[in-house]
Amino acid sequence: MNPNKLRHIVAVDRCGSLTAAAKQVHITQSALTKNIADIEAEVGFALFERYARGMHATSQGRSFIDRAARIVADLDQLTTDAKLGRQLSSSRIRVGVCPPSLVSLLNTALTQMLMAHPDVRIEQTAGWIEQSIHHLVNRDIDLLVGPAPAISLHKSQFTIHPLPPLEICFFVRKAHPLGDRKKINIGELNQFPMALADRSVATAELINQLFGAPVIPPEKQLHIIGHFSAACKIVANSDTIGTVSASYKDNEAFLDEFSFLNIVEKVEPVPLAAAYSTKFLPSEPMKTLVRMLES
């Protein structure tokens, strides 16, 4: 697939019209129209819907164009880095984190890595584990930090480094009915809605502890919230019980708004891992980051 044609469809999407896009990429409108038709013929579906006042991406085209935009951005970055005499893999690390609340665990490791490699740029994202694994397979991220059971399903594609497990804690708003209880049995949490950052956090051991069964009961009100800030808002404004890593026990701003529940039973921690593609050798900065996460 011709990279210039990808650049052209991205321009059409951003400009919203053939006329404006043709001026931006410095080709004729007819040539641009042909390039779009060539790409659509190659992928087998329409990328744009044509209207009297412009063009908009189709539902299938949206996903393709977003991916094309990332490829074009990578090519531009590669050219820039080549001119500077540096390889892209050594100048930038794109890290995916799942669940989103794990971001806090990276703070120390990222700081230490940047002290050792001050010229490296970090791009950090958080999302669903399935989405994050897909991004790692497609090289949209360089390193994934998340639940080991889900990552290990792709061990033929990834180099996997076990990390210290994630200690799960439950938190509630200050005025929650359970907030003042000194000791709580884990089964009592069933009385209230719950919010998880990702289904991958709900290991079989944790589900069995919570519900006395290996699967989540269909009647249980369980929210799966991909953004930790959104989960916090739900917990802050309802009796929903949230889950978070134990590292937040030292977060003063978090403790000003929420209370941690003192669960009598030991909650099984979630195994974690860091992974990168077996097709590419990790850069020195990435090796440093993985070592920091392992320690």
What are the tens digits of pLDDT across the range 218-239?
Answer: 888 888 877 788 889 999 999 9
Residue 88 has pLDDT above 60, yes or no: no
Scored b (16 or more CB within 10 A) or e, 129-145 reads beebbebbeeebbbbbb
Q: Greater confidence, 88 or 18?
A: 18
Q: Write down the mean pLDDT value for the chain.
A: 87
Per-residue pLDDT tens digits for 46-72:
999 988 788 999 989 999 999 999 999
Amino acid of residue 108: T
> What is the number of alpha carbons within 13 Å of residue 239 lying toward its C-beta?
9
Which strand ranges, in their side-by-side order, compose the sheet holding 241-245? 222-224, 194-196, 241-245, 168-173, 258-260
Per-residue pLDDT tens digits for 130-163:
889 999 999 899 999 999 988 999 999 999 999 9
**Are 230 and 89 spatial neighbours (Cβ–Cβ below 8 Å)?**
no
- Its CATH architecture, for the domain 168-268, is 3-Layer(aba) Sandwich (3.40)
> 213 exposed, middle or buried (CB, 10 Å; 0-12, 13-18, 19+)?
exposed
Confidence bin at 90 (pLDDT 50/70/90)? low
Q: Greater confidence, 81 or 46?
A: 46
Per-residue pLDDT tens digits for 245-283:
888 888 899 999 999 999 888 888 889 999 999 988 888
Name the CATH topology of 3-83: Arc Repressor Mutant, subunit A (1.10.10)
The domain ranges of the chain are 3-83, 92-165+272-294, 168-268
Same CATH fold, 168-268 and 3-83? no
Amino acid of residue 85: G
For the segment 161-188, the average pLDDT, to the nearest whole number, is: 90
Which strand ranges, in their side-by-side order, compose the sheet holding 121-126? 121-126, 92-97, 143-147, 270-277, 158-166
pLDDT over 70 percentage in the chain = 95
92-165+272-294 has which CATH code?
3.40.190.10
The residue with tokens 């019209």 is 17
Q: What pLDDT is attached to residue 87?
A: 53
